[in-house]
Amino acid sequence: MAIKGVNAFEMAQAQFDKVAAILDLDPATRELLRWPLREYSFAIPVRMDDGRVRIFRGFRVQHNDARGPSKGGIRFHPQETLDTVRALATWMTWKCAVVDIPLGGGKGGVICDPHHLSQREQEQICRGWVRQLAKNVGPVADVPAPDVMTSGQHMLWMLDEFETIHGGHYPGFITGKPVGMGGSEGRTEATGYGVVFTIREALREMGIDVRQTHASVQGFGNVAQYAIRLYTQIGGRVTCVACWDQTDQAAYSFRRESG
Say if strands 142-146 and 70-77 run parallel, antiparallel, or are unpaired. parallel
Distance CA 23, CA 79 (A): 35
What are the C-alpha distances in Å from 86 to residues 18, 114, 121? Answer: 18, 22, 26
Give the per-residue pLDDT at 2. Answer: 54
Task: State CA 165 to chain mean position distance.
Answer: 25
SS3 159: helix
* Residues carrying CATH 3.40.50.10860, the chain: 8-183
Give the per-residue pLDDT at 3. Answer: 58
Q: Judge residue 213's burial from the number of C-beta atoms within 10 Å of its C-beta, 0-12 exposed, 13-18 middle, 19 or more buried.
A: middle
Contacts of 21 (CB under 8 A, 6+ apart): none
Give the per-residue pLDDT at 153. Answer: 96
* Residues carrying CATH 3.40.50.720, the chain: 189-255
- CATH code of the domain occupying 8-183: 3.40.50.10860
* Residues recognised as catalytic: 107
Query: Among 3.40.50.720, 3.30.56.10, 3.40.50.1820, 3.40.50.2000, what is the CATH number of 189-255?
Result: 3.40.50.720
Q: What is the mean pLDDT of each run of 10 residues along the chain (259 residues)?
A: 77 98 97 98 98 98 98 97 98 97 98 97 99 97 96 97 98 94 90 96 97 93 92 96 84 83
- Please list, residue by residue across 52-84, b when 16 or more beta carbons sit within 10 angstroms of its beta carbon and e when fewer do: eeeebebbbbbbbbebebbbbbbbbbeebbbbb
